[in-house]
Chains A and B, each alone.
Chain A
Amino acid sequence: MLMCSLVGVGGLCRDIGYPPGAAVLSTLMIWAAPAQMVLFGSIAAGVALPAIAAAVSLSSIRFVPMCMSILPLVRRPGTPTWLLLLIAHFVAVTAWVEGMRRLPDMPQHARIPYYLGFANTVMLAAAFATGAGYFLIAELPPPLAAGLLFTSPVFFTLSLMAGARRALDWLAIGLGFAAAPLAARLVPAGLDLLVGGLGAGTLAYLAHRLRARGGGRPA
């Protein structure tokens, strides 16, 4: 699903005259479509490389909460650090939503093989899509190109809904949606998603705590 946004990354990479291998390498190594778009888009705009690195880094801070919430589900006592780093490398939206949705119902010993198998498949397909995009994006009729870009938002929304287990999850989804336009107005671009997500998530968590205490229900 996310391959579709990486088709666009392939196109961007071609626009700046980089070889197709660089586009594919960016998918395998960066593994974050927004960061890749920032990288190639800013190079196209002539931004200085150190400033680009800062912007890329900023767009990837979201991996901290994502990795932190999925790693405890996957690891077992004694999982070596290199394996944890490898698992963390595969964390991006697709692997995260799928993992959060499916892993809790799986036996502990099956989680790492499932996760790595799934994430590797997605990454391979995504690398292929990036390469295909490099050569194809300019040829598509506009409505189909729009459809490709629309895949991520609709897939992410539905995966979040499918993975929601508690009222807290639904609250976080709703507040997150509402926070985006608000933060876009109040916070400098580049930081808006981070501030919005942090604010909305914290608000959802506090509401969840208050409710748990008020109703005497276990959290």
Chain B
Amino acid sequence: MSLIQSLEHATGGLWPYLVVILFGFLPSEVWRWLAVFLVRGLDEEAEILVWVRAVATALLAAVVAKLLLNPNGALAVIPALWRWGALAAGIAGYALFRRSVLAGVLTGEAALVAAGFLAPG
């Protein structure tokens, strides 16, 4: 810790930028670098990539579910039923407007913001 503190002292106003690089960028970016080296020599059709893609897809779906189950900040003010209802509205909008992602997002947003004004607390 003392090393970090003396570094903080020495860099002064630049310290926040250094924090972003050392404790944000580097620990995050190593995984992207690792992936670049892992896919070397793998074919686009390789079977293992089918599995990797399924994992990435499921992971993202889990991220969405978590964002709606345990929301933070202002989203937590909207009751859970309304959050899921707004997502359903977004999916309905997407399906109705010829599978347009933009139309779906707008429908879902409208439903959620309306819920925010109508269902306080």
Contacts and interface: CB of A to CB of B under 8 A. Distances in A.
A22 B47 CA distance: 41
B74 A146 contact: yes
Interface stretch (A112-120, A121-129, A137-145): A137-145
Most buried by A among B19, B44, B53: B53
Interface residues of B, number: 76
Given A147-B113, A176-B57, A201-B58, A56 B51 contact: no
Contacts of B113: 143-144, 146-147
Contacts of B68: 153
B81 interface: no
A136 interface: no
B77 interface: yes
Most buried by B among A19, A35, A150: A150
A62 to B, nearest CB: 5
Interface string B28-45: 111111111011001110
Contacts of B86: 150, 154
Interface in B73-94: 73-75, 77-78, 83, 86-87, 90-91, 94
A16 B53 CA distance: 37
A176 B58 CA distance: 4
Chain B binding surface, main DSSP class:
helix
A178 B65 CA distance: 8
Nearest to B35: A67
Give the bracket for the number of chain A residues in contact with chain B: 35 or more
A132 interface: no
Given A50-B4, A156-B63, 17 more contacts: A22-B16, A30-B24, A34-B63, A53-B27, A56-B23, A63-B28, A68-B39, A142-B77, A142-B116, A145-B74, A149-B74, A154-B105, A161-B91, A172-B58, A175-B61, A200-B62, A204-B57
Interface of A: 1, 8, 18-19, 21-22, 25-26, 29-32, 34-36, 39, 43, 48-50, 52-54, 56-57, 59-69, 71-73, 81, 84-85, 88-89, 91, 93, 96-97, 100, 140, 142-162, 168-169, 171-181, 183-184, 192-194, 196-202, 204-205, 208, 219
Interface of B: 1, 4, 13, 16-17, 19-36, 38-39, 42-44, 46-47, 49-75, 77-78, 83, 86-87, 90-91, 94, 99, 101, 104-105, 108-109, 112-113, 115-117
